[in-house]
Amino acid sequence: MTSIGTGYDLSASTYSPDGRIFQVEYANKAVENSGTAIGLRVKDGIVLAVEKIIHSKLLVPEANRRIQNLDKHLGMATSGFQADGRSLANRGRDEATSYRDYYRQPSPVKEVVNRLSMYVQAYTLYSSVRPFGVSAIIGGVDKTGPRLFIVEPSGVAYGYHGAAVGKGRQLAKTEIEKLKLSELSTREAVAEAARIIYLVHDDAKEKEFELEMSWIGDETNGLHVPVPEGLLAEAERKAKEALETFE
Amino acid sequence: MDHFPTNWGRPRNDAHDAFNTYPLHQRPAPHTDTFAEGVQRTQQPIVTGTSVLAIKYKDGIMMTADTLASYGSLARFKSIQRLHAVGESTVIGASGDMSDFQYLQGLLDGLVTDEFTAGDGDALGPAEVHEYLARVLYARRSKMNPLWNSLLVGGVKDGESFLAYVDLLGTTYTASTLATGYGAYIALPLLRQAVEGREATLGADEARRILTESMRVLFYRDARSLNKFQIATVTAAGVDISEPIVLDTAWGFAEGIRGYGGQTQ
């Protein structure tokens, strides 16, 4: 059934006769049109990578970051509307801080993900709001080890070994499936993540892009931080090399 | 259901216990207003730490405090850390109420986390932490509800070393040698003599020796002190808080002390 002109897509509080909520599906479309974001959960940590499309040469390099910190041990990469991603990250920071204030310890990744997913879900219930136009990959290291989740516009959240959202997610997923994630170190995963982002970027259609990467694990003392410049440059060089042999 | 018969209504004759309620249990006192005596604020510290000492030296600052938290004159907790790293370039040391210090630790850790999550590459340095603490402590004293601490704040940022004091009134001052509590009377003159004028040339080993000797003197003279202490070092490389150091002390001379106490001759 088409959603156009039927009147069932005018608000997130209305089901269509076959049980869908079109506003949520449109939100997913917003994500599908955005630059790819991936997350890898490996042996000793998490690597997040984003293909940030540069829509103007006048932009300051590294502006409008799409990977953000929720806490010292929690990172979030978003795909979709940048402003919605910012807003969601703000909420994530509040939840992580609130957990720390209540329990005097860093939050489990799952706890913040659960709270955020309930928050996102609430935006699918009312006619006065629109659902979040982002899928968020949330990764971190807690007592139980590295953990990786995706929160979707509908409010569902699943845990993953490897995550991909955005325009190039299909190709990215097949590439991630080829990796032996449980045997990789974060350092190796940085190179793989860079390679995958370069691979899924469609330079025939798209303008230039900037590779944005962060990691967390034993190498970073459990802090979610941007991948150091030297390592990032090295990973990009290898990614470009791999791209030439791939084609 | 109230099971105490005396609460059901008094016997008609107090001399005759018709309901066999002897011994008469205490009747509940009339409800007293929680705030009848006014809102109660901290009027004295409870679990306390004694002196903190700090000096500037060639590579940065060095701070020391023993590991005792006293309950009055009782040596209640003997391995409490009173030095606390705030971010990568600052250390604070606390004397006074230890619960208030723990509250401040939580406050500062939250601040450092917020600064980290902002992800803009900026971090709080010792001067900012000191100013923040001064604002918090002054605000609390102005509410007639002070946080009962004397704190030393030290650190190194952008090649500049920083050392300052702040207390429960919000009073602040700075010097190249600082001490809180009893140490301000006993150890500070020693520190000044050893350090002042030599801040730029004083080596780490010498600085450590000066602080250790001062802690030894304090242990002999301060009845709320302990011979176990830690030394925090802040240099351009970051903060390092040592494992507890135990002092060897000699008390043989005590035999020969005359003039007070319970000697028999």
ipTM of the shown complex: 0.91
B34: confidence class by pLDDT, cuts 50, 70, 90:
low
Pairs across A and B, CB distance < 8 A: 25
Per residue in B204-233, pLDDT (tens digit) is: 999 999 999 999 999 999 999 999 999 999
Question: How far is residue B243's CA from residue B224's CA, in Å, rounded to a whole number?
Answer: 21
> Looking at the domain assignment, is residue A9 inside a domain?
no
Taking an 8 Å cut-off on Cβ atoms, the answer to whether B110 and A97 are in contact is yes
Domains along the sequence of chain B with CATH: 47-246 (3.60.20.10)
Residue B3: pLDDT above 90? Answer: no
How large a percentage of chain B has pLDDT more than 90?
77
DSSP letters spanning B121-167: S----HHHHHHHHHHHHHHHHHTT----EEEEEEEEETTEEEEEEEE
Q: Which of these, A25, A8, A7, A24, lies nearest to A16 by C-alpha position?
A: A8
Taking an 8 Å cut-off on Cβ atoms, the answer to whether A65 and B119 are in contact is yes
Q: What value does the mean pLDDT take over residues B101-123?
A: 96
> Looking at the domain assignment, is residue A3 inside a domain?
no
> Looking at the domain assignment, is residue A12 inside a domain?
no
Q: Please give the pLDDT value at position A4.
A: 73
Per residue in A183-214, pLDDT (tens digit) is: 999 999 999 999 999 999 987 777 799 999 99
Q: Please give the pLDDT value at position A53.
A: 93
Give contacts of A223 with chain B, Cβ < 8 Å.
Answer: 116
Residue among A50, A64, A69, A101 with most chain B CBs within 10 A, to mutate? A69
Taking an 8 Å cut-off on Cβ atoms, the answer to whether B116 and A104 are in contact is no
Q: Which helix (H) or strand (E) holds A177?
A: helix A169-177
Torsion angle in degrees (nearest 10) through CA of A116, A118, A123, A127:
-170
> Looking at the domain assignment, is residue A52 inside a domain?
yes
Q: What value does the mean pLDDT take over residues A38-48?
A: 97
Contact B132, B164 (CB under 8 A): no
How large a percentage of chain B has pLDDT more than 70?
83
Residue B155: pLDDT above 80? Answer: yes
Residue B142: pLDDT above 80? Answer: yes
Residue B265: pLDDT above 70? Answer: no
Q: What's the CATH code of the domain at A132?
A: 3.60.20.10
Question: How far is residue A175's CA from residue A181's CA, in Å, rounded to a whole number?
Answer: 11
A2: confidence class by pLDDT, cuts 50, 70, 90:
low
Q: Which of these, A231, A155, A141, lies nearest to A187 by C-alpha position?
A: A231
Q: pTM here?
A: 0.86
Per residue in B162-201, pLDDT (tens digit) is: 999 999 999 999 999 999 999 999 999 999 999 999 999 9
**DSSP state at residue B247:** -
Give contacts of B116 with chain A, Cβ < 8 Å.
Answer: 69, 72, 223
> Looking at the domain assignment, is residue A4 inside a domain?
no
Q: Which residue numbers of B are catalytic?
A: 42
**DSSP state at residue A107:** P
How large a percentage of chain A has pLDDT more than 70?
98
Give residue A99's domain range: 22-246
Question: How far is residue A212's CA from residue A65's CA, in Å, rounded to a whole number?
Answer: 8
What are the CA-CA distances from residue A182 to residues A76, A110, A146, B47 (Å)?
Answer: 21, 20, 11, 49
> Looking at the domain assignment, is residue A84 inside a domain?
yes
Confirm or reject contact between A180 and chain B (CB < 8 A): no
Question: How far is residue A216's CA from residue A193's CA, in Å, rounded to a whole number?
Answer: 14
> Looking at the domain assignment, is residue A206 inside a domain?
yes
The sign one gets for the Cα dihedral B66, B70, B74, B79 is negative
* Residue B64, CA atoms < 13 Å, CB-side half-sphere: 31
Q: How many domains does chain A have?
A: 1
Q: Please give the pLDDT value at position B262.
A: 64
Q: Phi/psi zone of residue B217: left (φ > 0), alpha (ψ -120 to 50 degrees), beta?
A: alpha
> Looking at the domain assignment, is residue A235 inside a domain?
yes
Question: How far is residue A17's CA from residue A123's CA, in Å, rounded to a whole number?
Answer: 21
